[in-house]
Amino acid sequence: MNENQQHHVEELLRALEVERVKANKIKRVGWLVVLAILLAGVGLFLAGFHARELVITGVAWVVALIAVLIINHFVNKKVKNRFKEQVLYPAIKSNYKDLTHQSKNYLSRDLFHHSRLFKTYADRYNGEDLFQGVRGKTAYKFSEIHAEERYTTTDSKGRTQTKYRTIFKGVFLMADFNKHFNGLTRVVEGGDGFFEKLFAGKSKVSLENPTFEKIFNTYSNDQAEARYILTPKMMEQILLIKEKWNSSVALSFRDNHVFIAITSYYNLFEPNMKQTFDLAHVDRIFEEIDSCLELIDILDLNTRIWTKR
């Protein structure tokens, strides 16, 4: 970013910071109104007022709460969208020449299931911020994903209710691997009896790294190929990813690709309405993008000494 570009971005950020502060004031006023109605209801109850007054106060509190939630959503969305459209997207395009970004797109559900990283089908699936490109010799794409499974509960009266629980939420990346292979190898944290049964006797892989095996379980339909993929260096690299992200990490190797799922409940690549809109705010988002691109470097995917070009 040259001096003129930086000056232009700083002017935009100053204007957006004014909007952010105003939006947060609107939200605070709304919550104060909700609190005031609640306190009024408590006061009426303690003063011995009849049910009619309490019901009216309760209805007013519910209406105010719903109104505040709706207003807050649209206020946040308006400011965040302006930040993205005016500052973030042009900055990404300017600073990452070999990367394309589609804010409303994400890796497909079919690709998510093709990785075989998760045993449960995603009944509800969405995401955002698809990044893709080529880093060195390695083609890649990644996005945020939120996958959920549907389940039902039944109460004591036999009434059923449909609910959703999270299978995975975080960054999901697919990249070319630097070795040819034919099978499926999975590296997951904790036990996974389901897939042991699914592989119908194809055993868990034993590897010569006690630290790695303490954290991860490895499953493959080809023991020799799994060891060909998971060299001592590769295991150390996966441990480094785990350390850097300080989160749950899972990998699979299939169809000459590596799939990486890193759990994150924090919404990445987004402006934070609780933080000042300044250049540091943009740099923080760049650091998040760089951390995803760094996965390719940590796994050394551009080293091609196994005949793959």
Q: Could you report the per-residue pLDDT of 118-159, keeping only the tens digit for each?
A: 988 999 999 999 999 999 989 999 999 999 999 998 888 888
| pTM, two decimal places | 0.84
Q: Please tell me which residue, 32 or 57, carries the higher pLDDT value.
A: 32
Indicate whether 114 pLDDT > 90. yes
Rounded to 5 degrees, φ, ψ at 194 are -55, -50
* Cβ neighbours of 202 (radius 10 Å): 16
Rounded to 5 degrees, φ, ψ at 130 are -85, 120
Indicate whether 201 pLDDT > 50. no
Pairwise CA distance, residues 215 & 189, whole Å: 6
Pairwise CA distance, residues 50 & 62, whole Å: 19
Distances (CA, A) of 76 to 20, 128, 146, 282, 286: 8, 17, 21, 17, 21
Instruction: Report pLDDT for 197.
Output: 52
Percentage above 90 pLDDT, the chain: 62
For the beta sheet containing 184-189, the strands, ordered from the edge strand earlier in sequence to the opposite edge, are 99-102, 124-135, 138-154, 160-176, 257-263, 249-254, 184-189, 216-220
* Cβ neighbours of 38 (radius 10 Å): 16
Domain boundaries, the chain: 3-95, 99-298
Helix axes 279-298, 232-245, angle to 10 degrees: 160
Distances (CA, A) of 277 to 11, 213, 292: 11, 43, 23
Indicate whether 194 pLDDT > 70. no
Pairwise CA distance, residues 213 & 235, whole Å: 9
The end-to-end CA distance of the chain, in Å, is 33
CA angle 298, 304, 305 (to 5 degrees): 120
Instruction: Report pLDDT for 206.
Output: 85
Return left, alpha or beta for 72; rule: phi > 0 is left, psi -120 to 50 is alpha, else beta.
Answer: alpha
